[in-house]
Structure 1
Amino acid sequence: MQQSDKLNLREIEKQLSERFKKSSDFVCKNIIIGVEEFAAYYLESLVNLPTTLSAINQAAIEHEDDSLIQKFKPFEGDSSMSLDGLSNELLQGKLILFSPEGSIAVLESEKHDISRPVTSPESENPLQSAYDAFTEDINTNIALFRKKLRSDRLVIESRSTGVQSKKKMAVVYLEGIAQPKVVQSIQEKLEQNKDKELTTVRDLLRILGHPKFALTPTYVSSELPGEMVENLKNGKVVILIDQFSFAFSFPAIITDLWSTTLDVNYPYLFQVFLRTIRAIGALLAMTLPGMYVVLNSVNPELLRIQLAITVAKNREGVPYPSLIEMLLVMLLLEMIIEATIRLPKNIGPTITMIGGILLGQAIVQAKLVSNLLIIILVASAIANFVLAGYMNTTGIRMYKYVVMLVSSLFGIWGLEAALIWITIYFASLTTCSVPYLSFSVKGKLPDE
């Protein structure tokens, strides 16, 4: 070891201590392994030092200390031994040792048990499926894939992204099943944007080059390993991110609105029936509010005379036009839905149910809205949540406002134009080289 290398190494030690001096869990101490003394640098929140030293000393007793000696490298100014390289290793929970002779070793350490065990899903309700869910640990999630899909065609590519905060991710797909153009598209985007920070789902979509403004999600997320395994079999690519308790499946297609991969657990006739109900629900969720405005204010002549008189009597005494009436109650419903999500689970459903019933009854008795509007609104909300996936329901919730506003201006022709426009919009979408209106990522009609 040259004297200049030793000086550079001491400077690296000093800079490393300076960089992490504001972190209370950063530890620099002298430890003894065998009969030698080393300077150890580590984060005690991530490294279980007593267990790590016990394992190292046990290896030394078993005459395997040569493997430890081989881990020490002289400082030569390479990237792995640089300040940034060592900082990254430290943040990953590794133990860095500096020997008195002026060499460095980066060792895998025993970690504290801070990972959540595999539990039942919290936000999804699997039917006739396994009750296990992804956790925040990416290695545990990969193990769940390996357990459910024992195939040598399962490809798992480990990657990392970010500069200030390195984030681990895994790209999972079935070789020979996933379309090469989809895999290549995702790989190219991840490689081109590997320096971008990844802390949220929006960051992932930005890295993959997906549109910032979209009425429909370009991915399918789930905390169910069984559902993601079926997505792999259907030719999709799954991305796992460390410290995310759910996985992302790319690309999303039109059938994801009304079908889930776990539908294959039902007999075929039941499966077709359920998917038909969801497809009808998607149509009703978009059109019912607009249809109410059309038949009340713009084109009441479309109704039979008896029904038109009944609707008119029902709205007798309501001081607002149909559009204002509908907007008022729809916004109240949106707030009730968000309150249900944000409130604690033990009181959220009770408060929102009581609030919804009391508010609905009071607002009708006060003649601010009609009884028919409440029926239409509840039917639209139920139809909306029949759809598969919360993200899909949110997109439909947004678009029904567009349908309602256009319908209030142009009547039944506006309603039809809004439906034609959403069809054209879906036809223009392409995600990971796959058109959104595809019925299968594999290029075949059935995905079962």
Structure 2
Amino acid sequence: MKTSLQVPFPMSTSLQDNVNWVQQKLGKSPDIHYRPLEIGIYPDTNNIALFYIEGLANYDILNEHISKPLQSTHENESFWQQDVCFHDLLCQAITISDLSFSSEGNDVIAALLAGNTVLIADGYNEAIIAGTAGWEKRSIEEPQTQTVVRGPKEGFTEDIRTNTSLLRRKIRSPDLRFISMRIGRYTQTEVIVTYLEGIANPDVVKEALQRLERIDTDSILESGYIEEYIEDVTYSPFPTIMNSERPDAVAAGLLEGQIAILVDGTPFVLQAPVTFFRFLQSSEDYYQRFDIASFIRFIRYLSFFVSMLLPSLYIAITTFHQEMLPTTLLISLAAQREGVPFPAIVEAFLMEITFEVLREAGVRMPRVIGSAISIVGALVLGQASVQAGLVSAAMVIIVSFTAISNFVTPAVNMAVAARLIRFGLMLLAGTFGLFGILTGCMAVLIHLVSLRSFGVPYLTPVAPLVLSRLNDTFIRIPRWLTFMRPLSKGNRMRQTRYDKPSPPKEDR
């Protein structure tokens, strides 16, 4: 299905025909400004139509570099009597360096909708497009979803040009490539694929461009749209494409051999290919000492498995395998559950769903009261539920610690995957006990091994096992020992061999 903008329309030499066509396509919207001008000394060829859209075009640029220069040369007869065609003289009068020309009406409309100013002269079938785009945009601020204690405090914005400049500031190399395209029949959203020439795998770049070019839809409003169209596996709780609003994280990924996809209108940039272990790493790991970063990374892995397995283990042990508990603890748990009318699995589902509701309410409520509702709601509901005998105190502790552990995961989409799998494992634990948990974990592991991210195995470098790449998976080795790039197929050498630093020897 084609929109009206996709039907070719060659520009006419008649100014009125061109004006009528533009006004017909854009309608009588009050934000679209049309201004007829009479410039020059030739009455038959000096009529000009000027179009721009209020709010998209920069008024300062429009006035200083188009309106004023044309007005100042209007009375200068010698300027317009030069032995040059009127169209070229018009371009000389405009003092904007970003000038382009088009004889295709659809290109003119697209440029106008992008914030540019269009000038159409009578007698010429080629419009002048002046780069005057400039609208209100959010300033560079600290990322809201990926905060760090130590590291850069700047994040991407909704303006794609600001985002490309942030990457240019991080990687000042001529090998940094940007490939632009527009996707969406109505939105015409600009999408940019960026990578480092010589480091990124050319096959991955080619595959990404092919997947993007196959997208034929009416709108792209956020990078999440793109992610669903190009990801390797759709029916999986595990993400195979990473998103980030941190320029330093995206720059680090490009230096490792990833590609990045920037979408106009969103601060979240997509990164691929990616492995499972990358979602449990943070930019801050590389800004701290390696031993501290390795310890914190171990805490993240532990918290991830706790958030996925702890409720199901509690259900299985208290329901089927009480003999695994010490006698004192077993008596304490039995005393707590004496007045609870529900089995452990119902109790766990009740508490987990209640906490998910509180979490969602805290996110959707205004920020001023959102955190208060989450904290007070959890405390009040938890205490009241225990006093009413609906749940045991141990279950409140289990669910609370599970939720806290889930927040430790740096990537939100991976934390959501753990939450979804948790419910399935709880159901298996309540039905088959520890055998059900083992079966569920084996199914998850088989699924993880089968996943690919742009052809890269999801569990690399563990499955398939690549010993040389394990040094930055579970722990972080010192920077001076990091020689190889994990994803690059070309320039894999990150740095030259570096001897371990040592204090100077004292002369004796």
- Mapped partners of 2:353, 2:201: distance in 1: 42
Give the match's secondary structure for 1:347: helix
1:54 Cα shift? 2.9
Pairwise CA distance, 1:262: 3.0
Aligned to 1:352, the other structure's residue is in SS state helix
- SS in structure 2 at match of 1:221: strand
2:401 matched residue in structure 1: 379
Contact in 1 for aligned 2:33/2:52 (Cα 8 Å): yes
Aligned partner of residue 34 in structure 2, secondary structure: strand
Does the aligned pair in 2 maintain the 1:181–1:433 contact within 8 Å? no
- Counterparts in 2 of 1:83 and 1:105: CA distance versus 1, 3 Å: closer
> 2:49 is aligned with what amino acid?
A
Bigger mean CA deviation after superposition, 400-409 or 25-34: 25-34
**In 2: Cα distance, 1:406 partner to 1:130 partner:** 44
Residue by residue over 1:256-276, the C-alpha shift from the partner in whole angstroms, topping out at 9 and shown as x without a partner, is 232123311111111211111
- On the 8 A contact 1:253/1:435 being kept in 2, the answer is yes
What's the secondary structure of 1:160's corresponding residue? strand
1:359 aligns with 381
1:423 is paired with a residue of what secondary structure? helix
Q: What is the rounded CA distance, in whole Å, between the counterparts of 2:172 and 2:385 in structure 1? A: 57
- Contact kept, 8 Å, 2:231 with 2:240, in 1: the verdict is no
Partner residue, 2:155: 133
Matched pairs, number: 440
Cα distance in structure 1, aligned partners of 2:103 and 2:281: 51
Q: Does 1:157 align with 2:179?
A: yes
- Unpaired runs of 5+ residues, structure 2, are 1-9, 74-78, 92-100, 473-481, 483-508
The correspondence for 1:207, drawn from 194, 204, 229, is 229
Indicate the percent of aligned positions where both proteins have the same amino acid. 28
1:369 aligned to 388, 391, 396, which one?
391
Secondary structure of 1:385 counterpart: helix
Question: 1:14-64: per-residue Cα shift (whole Å, max 9, x none)?
Answer: 232122224221122213456644112221221245642431366677989
Q: Report the equivalent of 1:233.
A: 255
What residue number does 2:57 align with? 47
Contact 2:273 2:456 in 1 (8 A): yes
From 106, 125, 128, the counterpart of 2:128: 106
Work out whether residues 386 and 392 of structure 2, in 8 Å CA contact, stay in contact via their aligned partners in 1. Answer: yes
Asked if 1 retains the 8 angstrom alpha-carbon contact of 2:201 and 2:257, the reply is yes
In the alignment, the residues of structure 2 paired with residue 191 and residue 149 of structure 1 have an alpha-carbon distance, to the nearest angstrom, of 27
Could you say if the C-alpha distance between residues 228 and 187 of structure 1 is closer, same or farther in structure 2, counting changes exceeding 3 Å?
Answer: same
> How far does residue 426 in structure 1 lie from its aligned partner after superposition?
0.7
Code of the aligned partner of 1:372: A
Q: Show the 5 A alignment for 1:1-400.
A: 6=12, 10-33=16-39, 36-48=46-58, 51-56=61-66, 69-70=87-88, 80-193=102-215, 197-400=219-422
1:137–1:243 contact (8 Å) kept in structure 2: yes
Distance (whole Å) between structure 2 residues aligned to residue 194 and residue 147 of structure 1: 33
Q: CA deviation at 1:97?
A: 1.8
Letter in 2 for 1:16: V
Q: Say which is worse superposed, 267-276 or 48-57, in terms of deviation.
A: 48-57
Q: 1:232 to 1:109 in 2, by over 3 A?
A: closer
Distance verdict in 2 for CA 1:132–1:8, change over 3 Å = same
Contact 2:87–2:121 (8 Å) recurs in 1? no
Q: What is the distance in 2 between the residues matched to 1:80 and 1:446? A: 54
Give, in whole Å, the separation in 1 of the partners of 2:175 and 2:461.
Answer: 24
Give me the whole-angstrom Cα distance separating, in 1, the residues matched to 2:11 and 2:108.
16
Task: State whether residues 49 and 119 of structure 2, in contact with CA within 8 Å, keep that contact through their aligned partners in structure 1.
Answer: yes
Cα deviation per residue 1:278-316 (whole Å; 9 max; x = unaligned)?
Answer: 111111111111011111112222223333222211211
Q: Partners of 1:208 and 1:430 in 2: how far apart?
A: 12
SS in 1 for 2:141: coil
| TM-score of the superposed pair, with normalisation by structure 2 | 0.80
Whether the 8 Å CA contact 1:33–1:56 is kept in 2: the answer is no
- The alignment status of 1:444 with 2:469, answered yes or no, reads yes
Deviates more, 1:18-27 or 1:196-205: 196-205
Q: Which amino acid aligns with 1:273?
A: F
Distance 1:88 1:405, change over 3 A: same
Q: Deviations over 1:69-107 (max 9, x none)?
A: 34989xxxxx95344332212211122222122433232
Shift of 1:5: 7.6
Give the aligned partner of residue 455 of structure 2: 433
Distance, in Å, in 2 between the alignment partners of 1:42 and 1:323 is 63
Query: Hey, what's the Cα distance between the residues in 2 that align with 1:71 and 1:274?
Result: 66
For 2:50, the aligned partner's letter is A
With over 3 angstroms needed to count, the CA separation of the structure-2 counterparts of 1:5 and 1:153, relative to structure 1, is closer
The amino acid across from 2:130 in the alignment is E
Cα contact 1:290–1:408 (8 A) shared by 2: yes
SS in 2 for 1:45: coil
Q: Which amino acid aligns with 1:19?
A: K
Q: What amino acid maps onto 1:307 in structure 2?
A: L
Cα distance per residue 1:331-374 (max 9 Å; x no partner):
11001111121112221111221111111111000010001001
Three-state SS of the structure 2 residue aligned to 1:97 is strand
Q: Which moved more, 1:181-190 or 1:27-36?
A: 27-36
C-alpha spacing 1:408/1:42, structure 2 compared with 1 (3 Å): same
Q: Secondary structure at the match of 2:340?
A: coil
1:144-170: CA deviations, max 9, x gaps?
A: 111111122212222221222211121
Contact 1:320-1:368 at 8 Å conserved across structures:
yes
Give the direction of change, closer, same or farther, for the CA distance of 1:7–1:111 in structure 2 (3 Å limit). closer
Alpha-carbon contact 1:71-1:106 (below 8 Å) kept: no
Quick check: 1:422 aligned with 2:447? no
Secondary structure class of the residue paired with 1:103: coil
Q: Judge which range, 100-109 or 434-443, deviates more.
A: 434-443
SS in structure 2 of the partner of residue 114 of structure 1: coil
Partner in structure 2 of residue 76 of structure 1 = none
Deviation at 1:209, TM superposition (A): 4.7
Q: Distance in 1 between matches of 2:186 and 2:126?
A: 23
Asked if structure 1 preserves the Cα contact closer than 8 Å seen for 2:146 and 2:410, the reply is no
